[in-house]
């Protein structure tokens, strides 16, 4: 009788634990949309879409996050919701499967739809590449982005060229920039393209070491090819250590016009 009294509570505990598990057929179903390029699954995992970046819905204010959607952030989030909410995902991983936050990094399909590509094609995302991930679908994603740009969809519809000295007023925005690269610098792990002298508050374009491969393959020496040239580029303006910055992930982001 004593053994039975011990066994019954243990059996109830097992049943309770089993009831907390997500059914296998729902583990990869999307439970919550975080933003245009991130979702949460019923198994508790967060999935960050590879190869794309979408406008943010929140920004950091001191030690907390506040709701402050960037242009087209709501449209990207709503479109992502339409594509994946309460649907089972087919996830394809690349070389690196998780980021520093523990999120899965994946190419995401719902049926025949490659969600990453669809966001680019609708102009609700732009192409980014974080090697060693990203090479698998590079050309396909760039083609989708170019189609959106050619047809002025989404973020490309309102893209207007600002001068490098205006960049500081557009932090957090996806912008086009037109100006002259007055100087360049190359350091281990990074190349800088300067659009103004130090202290002027002009834009700096940054190419990290992992992304330099794409430039080299197109016979571009980033530290020399752009120096003194008038260029057009596009990307998201961020607050850098010494002023506004934009990261160049691929040569398609910048073009010499003079």
Interval 93-131: pLDDT, tens = 999 999 999 999 999 999 999 999 999 999 999 999 999
Annotated catalytic residue within 103, 118, 121, 149: 103
pTM of the model: 0.85
**227: annotated active-site residue:** no
> Where in the chain are the domains?
25-154, 159-256
Beta strands in the chain (DSSP E): 30-35, 38-41, 46-49, 52-53, 58-61, 64-67, 90-98, 104-110, 113-114, 126-127, 161-162, 174-180, 183-187, 190-194, 204-208, 230-236, 238-239, 244-247, 254-256
Contact call for residues 203 and 164 (beta carbons, < 8 A): yes
159-256 has the same fold as 25-154: yes
Per-residue pLDDT for 60 more than 70?
Answer: no
Annotated catalytic residue within 48, 109, 121, 149: 48
Which helix (H) or strand (E) segment holds residue 258: the answer is none
* Distance in angstroms (rounded) separating the CA atoms of residues 143 and 61: 36
Task: Give the CA distances from residue 29 to residues 82, 96, 106, in Å, rounded to whole numbers and listed in that order.
Answer: 14, 22, 14
**56: annotated active-site residue:** yes
* Distance in angstroms (rounded) separating the CA atoms of residues 253 and 258: 16
Per-residue pLDDT for 19 more than 50?
Answer: no
Domain 25-154 fold: OB fold (Dihydrolipoamide Acetyltransferase, E2P) (2.40.50)
- In this predicted model, what pLDDT tens digit does every residue of 162-210 receive, in sequence order? 999 999 999 888 999 999 999 999 888 899 999 998 778 899 999 999 9
* Distance in angstroms (rounded) separating the CA atoms of residues 115 and 111: 10
Annotated catalytic residue within 2, 27, 32, 56: 56
Average pLDDT over residues 147-165: 94
Predicted confidence band at 20 (pLDDT cuts at 50, 70, 90)? very low
Token couple for 174: 């996806």
Domain 159-256 part of CATH 2.40.50.140: yes
**48: annotated active-site residue:** yes
């Amino acid at each position: 009788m004593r053994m039975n009294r011990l066994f019954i509570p243990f059996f109830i505990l097992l049943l309770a634990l089993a009831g907390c598990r997500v059914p296998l057929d729902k583990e990869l179903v999307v439970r919550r949309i975080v933003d245009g390029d991130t979702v949460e699954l019923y198994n508790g995992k967060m999935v960050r879409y590879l190869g794309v970046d979408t406008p943010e819905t929140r920004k950091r204010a001191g030690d907390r996050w506040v709701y402050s959607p960037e242009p087209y952030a709501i449209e990207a989030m709503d479109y992502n919701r339409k594509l994946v909410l309460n649907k089972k995902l087919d996830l394809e991983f690349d070389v690196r499967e998780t980021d520093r936050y523990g999120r899965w990094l994946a190419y995401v399909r719902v049926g025949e739809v490659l969600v990453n590509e669809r966001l680019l094609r609708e102009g609700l995302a732009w192409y980014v590449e974080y090697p060693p991930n990203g090479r698998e679908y590079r050309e396909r994603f760039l083609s989708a982005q170019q189609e959106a740009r050619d047809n002025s969809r989404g973020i490309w519809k309102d893209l207007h060229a600002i001068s490098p000295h205006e960049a500081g007023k557009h932090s957090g925005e996806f912008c086009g920039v037109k100006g002259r690269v007055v100087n360049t610098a190359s350091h281990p792990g990074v190349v800088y393209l300067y659009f103004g002298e130090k202290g002027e508050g002009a834009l700096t374009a940054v190419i990290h070491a992992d992304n330099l491969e794409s430039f080299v393959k197109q016979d571009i020496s980033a530290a020399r090819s752009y120096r003194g040239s008038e260029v057009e580029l596009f990307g998201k303006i961020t607050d850098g250590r010494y002023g506004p910055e934009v990261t160049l992930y691929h040569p398609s982001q910048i073009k010499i016009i003079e």
